[in-house]
Chain A
Amino acid sequence: MKVKKMLSLILTGAMVLSMTACGGDSGETASNNTEDTNKEAATSVGDLIDSEVVTEDNADELDYTYGEGVTFHSNEPVTYSMMYSDHENYPYQADWLLWSAIEEKTNVTFDLTLIARTDYEDKKSVLINSGDSPYIIPKTYEEGKYVNGGQVVAVSDWVKYMPNYQKCVKDWGIDEYLKTQLQSDGKYYKLPGMWEAAGGGYSFMIRKDIFDAAGVDVTELEKTWTYEDFYEACKKVKEFTGCDYVISDASKGDCLINICAAEYGVNAGWGMGGGLQFDFDNLEFYYADTQDVMKEYLTFLNKMVKDGVLDPESFSQEDDTARAKFFNGETYAMTGNYQNLADYTSKMTDPEAELYMVVAPGGPAGLLQIENSKLENGIMIAQKALDELGEEGFIKMLRFVDWLWYSPEGQMLSLWGVEGETYTMDGENVILNSDISFNGMNPDAEKKLNVDYGFGGGMFAYGGSSWLRTSKMTEGERSFNNRIYEYRVDRPLIPPYMANEEESEELNLISTPLIDATKAWIQKFITGQADIETQWEDYKAELESLGVNTYVTQVNEIFQKNKSKLGY
C-alpha cells in the first residue's frame, strides 16, 4: 500500500516536471492575465473564463489521439471509474451497445459505481466526503458544498486541455453563464453540460379540446397573455365544465409557483434559492419576497385558489394523485415540460383529449422566458483522479471526457447511438431505425433506444448544438420551443456573490430559517390560511426578526468585495 503511494507520488512529480518542460507556455500566459482584472466587463470575464486551448508539440509522443474533430482513442485499453445514476425506467445493463460502442471508438471502459437515481445525491456526498469517490462524477447540480473539502478538482484550471469544451464555450457564448458557477476563489469546479440555446423548460400543459370548447383560443392568447389573462381563461373553462378545479398540480406546487414567480420577479418554489433578486441598476441584491410585487403575486395565486381555479391540494398531494386527476378529466391543466406530453397523452382516459403546451403567461416583470440558462447539470472530477493518474494521465482522462461529453461525435453517439445500427442519416436529418422507439418516435416499435441500447439516457446525453437538440424533438416540441423564442424575451441571469467558506456558513445560518419561514408563509397566503391584507405586516415582521436585513447587507458586502472579479 505504502510503496504504491510513494511510487505514484514520485511518478506524479516526474510528470509535473515533464509537463512544465514541454508545453506549459500558453497556459502560463493565460493565468497571468488574471492579475490585471479590469473594469471592462468583456475582457475581465474573458480572463476569468479562460477559453485558451493548450496544444502540445509532443502530440505524437502521446499514447492517444485527441482534439477538435479527432476521435479520442487510447492505444492501451484504459478504465476510468465513474459514478452512475441508474434510472428505474431504463435500468443499467452491462451488455448495452453504448458501452461496447464507447470502448470500440476510444478503448476506454468504465468501472461504475451504480447508484439508484433517487439516492444519487446522498451517496455522492458520502463517497466524496470519505475520499472514496470514483474519478468521474457526472450529473451534478450542486457542487458548492464539495468545494471546500478539497476532494474535487477546480476544473477551470484544466479546461485549457479540453479543445471541444473550449470550442463550445467560445462558439455558443457560454462565458456569461460560466460566471454563475464561480466560487469564492474565482475558479469553478464543475464542467457543465452546455446547450447552444436555452431550452423550453416548464410551462402549462392544457386540455386544448376543453379550452377550445369553452371559447378560449390559447394559440392566440399565449402570444402576449399575462397571469391575469390566464386566470380569466381558466375561469371560462371552470364555468363551461363546472369542474371543482381547473388546475391540480404536482411537484407540491413548487413548479407552478416558480414559473409564476419568474414573471413577477420574485422567488418561490423550485426557484426559491437564497430568496434574492438582483437590481441591475444599483448593482445590489435585495430580498424579493418582501417587496410590494410579492403581495401582488400572492394575491393573484390566492385568488386562483379562492375562486376554484387552483386546487389547494397542489401543495400537498403526491404527483401521482395530481396526474390521476388530470388523466381522468377532473382537471384541465397542469405544469410539465414538453417531454411529458407524449407520455401524458397516452394515459388520458378520454380518447378525444388533446394536450397542448402553452407558452407560460407573463407578469409585472415582463413576458419572460422561464429557462434562462444554457447550462445543464455537469461533471465533477475527483481529486483522487489527479493523485492516482498523475498529471499526464489526468489530462488524458479529461480529454476523453472532453470527447464523450463535448465533441459533436461523442454527443451524437450518446444520444443516437451508432450509425447504421440504431439510426441512419438522411441529409441533415437523423432517422431512427424503425424497430426502435425513442421520445415519442416510432411509438409502437419493439425496442427502446434507452432501455435496450443505453443511448439517449440522462447520464451522457445532455448538452449540444441546437441542431442536435432539435434532432430528437417531435414537430410539436419544436414548435413549442420556437413559440417561446418568438413571444418571450430573455430573463437576465443573477450574478453570483461568491461567498467564501466562513461567509457561506454565516449566511446559511440566517438563510435556512429565513427561507423556511418564507416558504411557510407563501403557502399559507396562497391557500388562504393566512390573510394577505391583514397579515402581510406580520409576515414582514417575522422575516425581519429572522434577520432578513442582516442577510441582505452581508450578501451585498460580499458582493461589493468580489464584484470586480465579475467585471462590474
Chain B
Amino acid sequence: MARQKQPKNELGKINLGRHLKKEWMMYSFLVIPIVYYVIFKYIPMFGNIIAFRKYSGGVNIFGEKWVGFRYFRQFLRDPSFWRAFRNTLSLSVTYLLFRFPITLTFALLLNEIRRAKWKKFVQTVSYLPHFISMVIIAGMIKEVVSLNGPINAMISAMGGEKISFIQEASWFPPIYIISGIWQGLGWGTILYLAAMTGINTELYEAAKVDGANRFQQAIHVTIPGIMPTIVTLLILDIGGIMGSNFEKIILLYLPSTYETADVISTLVYRMGISGGNFSYATAVGLFEGVIGLILVTTANLVSRKLTEASLW
C-alpha cells in the first residue's frame, strides 16, 4: 500500500528498456504468478461469452448462437431480480456498517488486555467459529432462534409473545447480521492485530512521555498505525458488497422470507444452476462483477484522495 508519498512514476516518462534492465529481477518474481493468472483465471473467463450466446449444455462450452443482450434484458425486466438486487445491497451494507466498527473495537480492546495469557486465550477462542462449516453454523442459528430456543424462552419469561424469527421476513436481516458478526468477530481481528505488531513501540513510549493515557494512545498511535490495513480491508469489503454469503443464505432462507433474504446469488441458483440455464446465470454474474469493479475502483480512488492509502 502506498503509504508513504513517493514521487510518482509515470509510464511514459521513463525509459522502459533501461527500467526493465535495472529491475528485471524484481519482475522475474511475477513470471510464475502471471502465468498462473492467465491459465486459471483468465482463460476460463472466456466462458463468460455465453452471457451473450445461447448455451444449452453440452460440449460446446461457448454456446450455439449469438443472442446479444437478450439475457440481460430478461433479468433487467424481472421484478425478482430487482428484489434480489435490493436485498443484496441492503444486507451487505448493513452488515458492513455493523461489523466493521465492532471488529475494530474488539481488536483495540484485545490490544488493551495486559495479561498475555488471558489475551491469547480470548483470541484463540474467538477464532473458533471460523473453523466451523456453514452447515453446522446454520443449524445452530436455527436452534437458537427457534420457538423453543433460548431467545424465545427469554421473551416469554418477560411476558412477551413468542416470535417465529426464522419465518418472518423482517427478522431475516438481523439474524443474518448478528450471526455473521458472531462467526467472524475473532477472525476479523487477525489482520488488525498483525498490523498492530508492526507499530513501533517507541511511538507508545513517546506518547506516554507526552502524558497520553491508554485511550489516547489507542486513538493517536494504534489507529493511525493500522490505518493502511483498515483502508485495505474497507476497500476490499466495499468491492465485495455485491457478493453475499450464498451458502449461509441458502441454508437459512425460506419462501416466506424471500422478500428480504433472496439475494442475487440465490436467485441465480434457483433460476440458473438448478434449472440448467447457464446463460442467464452468467449474464447476472457479469452484471454483478461490473458493479463490484465499479465499487472497488471508486472506493480506491476516494481513499487515495483522502488518506493517501490505496490498493493500487
Most B C-beta atoms less than 10 A away, residue of A320, A508, A512: A512
Q: Is the CB of A527 within 8 A of B270?
A: no
Q: Known: A312-B167, A315-B256, A513-B78. Contact between A129 and B146, CB under 8 A?
A: no
Size bracket, chain A contacts: 35 or more
Q: Is the CB of A527 within 8 A of B164?
A: yes
Cβ–Cβ < 8 Å partners of A513 in chain B: 78-80
Bound together, the chains give a CA A146 to CA B278 distance in angstroms of 12
Bound together, the chains give a CA A321 to CA B255 distance in angstroms of 20
Bound together, the chains give a CA A318 to CA B141 distance in angstroms of 11
Q: Does A128 contact B (CB under 8 A)?
A: yes
Minimum C-beta distance from B52 to chain A (A): 15
Minimum C-beta distance from B131 to chain A (A): 21
Minimum C-beta distance from B278 to chain A (A): 8
Q: Is the CB of A146 within 8 A of B276?
A: yes
Q: Is the CB of A529 within 8 A of B256?
A: yes
What total of chain B residues lie within 8 Å of the partner, measured CB to CB? Answer: 31
**Could you give, for residues 304-343 of chain A, a 1 whenever the CB lies within 8 Å of some chain B CB and a 0 otherwise?**
0000000111011110110000000000000000000000
Bound together, the chains give a CA A148 to CA B55 distance in angstroms of 9
Of residues 140 through 198 on chain B, the ones whose CB sits less than 8 Å from some CB of chain A are 142-143, 146-147, 164, 166-168
Q: Is the CB of B59 within 8 A of A145?
A: no
Bound together, the chains give a CA A61 to CA B275 distance in angstroms of 45
Q: Is the CB of A148 within 8 A of B56?
A: yes
Cβ–Cβ < 8 Å partners of B79 in chain A: 513, 546
With beta carbons under 8 angstroms apart, the residue of B56, B254, B273 that contacts A252 is: B254
Minimum C-beta distance from B99 to chain A (A): 25
Q: Is the CB of A148 within 8 A of B57?
A: yes
Cβ–Cβ < 8 Å partners of A317 in chain B: 142, 146
Q: Known: A130-B61, A313-B164, A527-B164. Contact between A149 and B275, CB under 8 A?
A: no
Q: Does B12 contact A (CB under 8 A)?
A: no
**The stretch of A84-92, A485-493, A518-526 that contacts the partner chain:** A518-526
Residues of B within 8 A of A (CB): 56-59, 61, 74, 78-80, 139, 142-143, 146-147, 164, 166-168, 254-256, 258-259, 262, 270-271, 273, 275-278
Q: Which 4 pairs from chain A and chain B are nearest by CB?
A: A149-B57, A145-B276, A149-B58, A131-B59
- 20 A-B contact pairs sorted by A residue (CB < 8 Å): A125-B276, A129-B58, A129-B278, A130-B61, A148-B57, A149-B56, A149-B57, A150-B58, A252-B254, A313-B164, A315-B254, A316-B164, A316-B254, A318-B139, A320-B139, A501-B56, A508-B271, A508-B277, A523-B255, A527-B256
Query: Apart from A146-B276, A320-B139, A523-B254, what are 16 other A-B pairs with CB-CB below 8 Å?
Result: A129-B58, A129-B278, A148-B56, A148-B58, A311-B147, A312-B164, A312-B167, A315-B254, A317-B142, A321-B143, A321-B146, A501-B56, A520-B256, A520-B259, A524-B256, A546-B79
